[in-house]
Chains A and B, each alone.
Chain A
Amino acid sequence: MSQRFKDIDYIGVFLWVFRAIIIVLVIYGTVSKLFLGVGNEYTIETWIDFFVSGLSQGSLYALIALGYTMVYGILFMINFAHGEFFMSGAMTSTVLVATFLSASGFLDAQPLVSMLLITAVSIITSISVALLTERIAYRPLRRAPRLVPLITAIGASFFWQYFFRGLFGSALIPFPVPESLQGRWTIFGLEFLRTRVVVMGTTVIALVFLYLFIQRTKTGKAIRAVAEDKDVAALMGINVDRTISITFAIGAAMAGIAGVLWGLVFRQVHFYMGFVPGIKAFTAAVFGGIGSIPGAALGGLLLGVIEAVGPPLFLEGLGIVGAHQLKDVIAFTMLVLVLIFRPQGLIGEKLAEKKA
């Protein structure tokens, strides 16, 4: 008789209640915002604007998140220095290339060539920093307990921050945006910030290239093989160390591209600029399912959109003032919720299945 009550899983009940409260709050906030007119000052265009800027911000998260997810996929390690790969490319290309191109007038005369040049330098810098970090700080620790490389990664992150601060100073450095990318374009009768369009277009191209590379090329298949079983991959003649380096390099290249795009959108770079985007992109990778490449892309986009649309939609609807400043709260609440309710992420596999 009393046996039935002993079977109740109290933690499970608590989590269900918690989940229900969150859902009710979101629905209540949304409904009161949209239909009860609690300060409903936004037009449909404004909502679209929120959404598009969210998509563009999410594209940046997605590009950075790829590096987290690929390294995790192959080494089961969270590379907390990844935000610094992103920062190093953005800063170096801004200081060494963009500033000069802008001063000489070449940036406005040849915007496409200039942007490609800036991006190339950014990618090369990010890759170099990533390869050095992997070779010096991570590879010797490959057989160490998991906590060790994690702490090393945090150390490496600090190292690169202060290295680039020493190199380029601690001031905010303006990123020059070519004239032709300033202002808005009208597409389908709607106006979009040009930089946002460039960000989204570039991200789509980068994602397609990455997907084809991983699925179709010999190196891409080797990366997937090493991710599954390093010993067996070596038995196939695959150089495991080299494949891991390549994985770091690809993630860093994506971060380097994101660095330039970040400069276009926010118009400034800084030695500390990798920290918050790094954590947001990590959140996005976990959200999508860490280890999964489509998961990182999806997680990044969703995080960007929720951050942009969430505050005006359900936070303002709940009567919270200054909701926009709470977008980070939404991002990290989401991280916690995902970790509690769906640790494998949206499209990730269960970790237990993944590796014993």
Chain B
Amino acid sequence: MALLEVNNLHAYYGNIHALKGISLQVEEGEIVSLIGGNGAGKTTTLRSISGLIPPKPGAITLGGEDLSNHKAHELVSRGVAMVPEGRGVFAKLTVLENLEMGAFHRTDKDGIIADLNSVYELFPRLAERKKQLAGTMSGGEQQMLAMGRAMMSRPTLLLLDEPSMGLAPVLVEAIFDTITEINKNGTTVLLVEQNAHMALQVAHRGYVLQTGTIVLSDSAKELQRNPMVQKAYLGIE
């Protein structure tokens, strides 16, 4: 069985039917990309998996355990961490305090310090800025902070919502390199992106979402060759 299994998931905002029964799987150790245009329902999918939106109906299991009735704050200790769209750093908390919040549910002080050091290794910039208020950091630095913060919970599954949004091309490369590195260290990744080109380059497999429905799923290589994907998401005629 896959690490994450989503079956026939629906989600609503009032009367808006944002997810119309999507199903997807993420195997342990994989990077899976979910691509799609504006308003396709990518963010909604991640918010449902992380417990911020109740599935109506739909089944979500992680390692065989049913997640669909849990609240968001209970999921962190079960191994789900999310980097929200727009980063969501706590602007008035310092960099270090933000990272501490990532480890909120943990009580193993030594483990937290060890993970803090590995986050600083992954993002040396954060180590230099420990005391700085997160709101005064640049967009790229905030993205690093949001990812480092998510890693502080020692997740088994990392959900990333458009980590490349609004970043300069060099930084985009760096962020995707880091995603690969995090994955190599044993964290499974579900990646949502509009930058389909990069997303399919780092991923093992991918899903294409259109207006609340999954229209395609395949290995990342096949998706990159698929004429429909090339036309709609990769800008290749």
Interface residues of A (CB under 8 A from B): 218, 221-222, 224-225, 228-229, 231-240
Q: How far is the CB of A189 from chain B (nearest CB, A)?
A: 44
Contacts of B97 in A (CB 8 A): 221, 224
Contact of B93 among A228, A237, A238, A239 (CB under 8 A): A228
Q: How far is the CB of B234 from chain A (nearest CB, A)?
A: 31
Q: How far is the CB of B226 from chain A (nearest CB, A)?
A: 33
List 8 other contacts, CB 8 Å, given A224-B92, A236-B102. Answer: A218-B100, A222-B101, A231-B52, A231-B88, A235-B50, A235-B82, A236-B153, A239-B73
Nearest residue, chain A, Cβ from B91: A228
A232, B73: Cβ atoms closer than 8 Å: no
Contacts of B84 in A (CB 8 A): 231-232, 235
Q: How far is the CB of A74 from chain B (nearest CB, A)?
A: 13
A225, B90: Cβ atoms closer than 8 Å: yes
B52, A237: Cβ atoms closer than 8 Å: no
A237 touching B90 in the complex, CB below 8 Å, given contacts A221-B100, A231-B52: no
B104, A222: Cβ atoms closer than 8 Å: yes
B50, A224: Cβ atoms closer than 8 Å: no
Complex CA–CA separation, A221 to B102 (angstroms): 12
Complex CA–CA separation, A222 to B84 (angstroms): 18
Contacts of A231 in B (CB 8 A): 52, 72, 84, 88
The 9 closest A-B pairs by CB, nearest first: A237-B76, A237-B105, A234-B72, A232-B88, A237-B104, A236-B101, A234-B73, A236-B104, A228-B90
Contacts of A221 in B (CB 8 A): 93, 97, 100-101
Contacts of A238 in B (CB 8 A): 73, 101, 104
A237, B73: Cβ atoms closer than 8 Å: yes
A-B contacts, 6 listed (Cβ < 8 Å): A218-B100, A221-B93, A221-B100, A232-B88, A235-B88, A237-B77
A236 touching B76 in the complex, CB below 8 Å, given contacts A218-B104, A221-B101, A231-B52: yes
B72, A235: Cβ atoms closer than 8 Å: yes
Q: How far is the CB of A346 from chain B (nearest CB, A)?
A: 18
In the complex, B4 has a CB within 8 A of chain A: no
Complex CA–CA separation, A222 to B97 (angstroms): 10
Contact of A240 among B73, B75, B77, B149 (CB under 8 A): B73
Q: How far is the CB of A143 from chain B (nearest CB, A)?
A: 12
Contacts of B102 in A (CB 8 A): 236
The winner among B81, B93, B104 for most chain A CB atoms within 10 A is B104
Complex CA–CA separation, A239 to B88 (angstroms): 17
Complex CA–CA separation, A233 to B91 (angstroms): 12
Nearest residue, chain A, Cβ from B74: A237
